[in-house]
Structure 1
């Protein structure tokens, strides 16, 4: 399974779940974009220096069909491709929520069209099911993997909003925003 390979490479971080069902493999959690340095003589690594947060990833036969997550900075986008593009299916659907943009864009990079949406706070899963025009009742009785498959199928006719731009052009459209934090009052 693809996600077992990622786990062996130390690419899974803050994992919510990793499972396979009916020919699909699904993962929710963070994915590493820059491994931490080796911290001891046994080869244990320090925490990663960059991650894509709250990812929702669906693979079919070791090819990623759906890749969704949140980036703090658009500048990290090439790292996503460095680590994961080799596993993308030709028809992969990529939706990234980016903290430091305020208008949606479709970024052309690495032969892909990547939908990017500005988001400083909120839950990726809730935003994704809104984009897919689903509600909680659509997932009644489904396993975690089945829920992601349902979203993937609902996104089959999804048309991302925003200008189609190169990565270089997208970088000129970033803004000074930070992820909104939550905590005790």
Structure 2
């Protein structure tokens, strides 16, 4: 399974689950965009330098069909492509929730069309099921991977909103925003 290979490479971080389901495999958690340096003589790594947070990834026959996550800065997008592009299927759907943009964009880079949506707070899963026009009752009795498959199938006709721009143009449209933090109340 693709996610087992990622785990061996140290690319899975803060994992919620990885689960196979027939020809599909699903993962939720963070994905590493830059590994931490070696921290001791035994080869243990320090925490990653950069991650894409709260990812929801679905692969079919070890090719990624759905790639969703949250980036603190749009400037990290090339790292997503460097680490994972080789595993993307030709018809991949990529949706990124980006903290430092405030208008949706369709970023065209490296032969990909990436839906970028501004989001400073909120839960990626909830935003994704809203985009898919689903509600919690659509997932009744499903396993974790079945829920992601359901979302993927519901997004079949998803048409991203926003201006279609190059990555370089998208960088000029970033704003000074930070992820909204929440602590104990």
TM beyond 0.5: yes
Cα deviation 1:158-177 (Å, max 9, x = unaligned): 00000000000000000000
Cα deviation 1:49-93 (Å, max 9, x = unaligned): 000000000000000000000000000000000000000000000
Aligned to 1:93: 93
Pairing 1:44-123 to 2, within 5 Å after superposition: 44-123=44-123
Q: Provide the rounded CA distance (Å) in 1 between the counterparts of 2:175 and 2:151.
A: 30
Q: In structure 2, the residue corresponding to 1:14 is in which secondary structure?
A: strand
Q: Provide the rounded CA distance (Å) in 2 between the counterparts of 1:36 and 1:125.
A: 27
Q: Provide the rounded CA distance (Å) in 1 between the counterparts of 2:178 and 2:58.
A: 28
Question: Normalising by the residue count of structure 1, what TM-score does the alignment of the two structures yield?
Answer: 0.99
5+ unaligned residues in a row in structure 2: which ranges?
none
Q: In structure 1, the residue corresponding to 2:18 is in which secondary structure?
A: strand
Question: Normalising by the residue count of structure 2, what TM-score does the alignment of the two structures yield?
Answer: 0.99
Q: Aligned Cα RMSD in Å?
A: 0.4
5+ unaligned residues in a row in structure 1: which ranges?
none
Q: Provide the rounded CA distance (Å) in 2 between the counterparts of 1:148 and 1:106.
A: 23
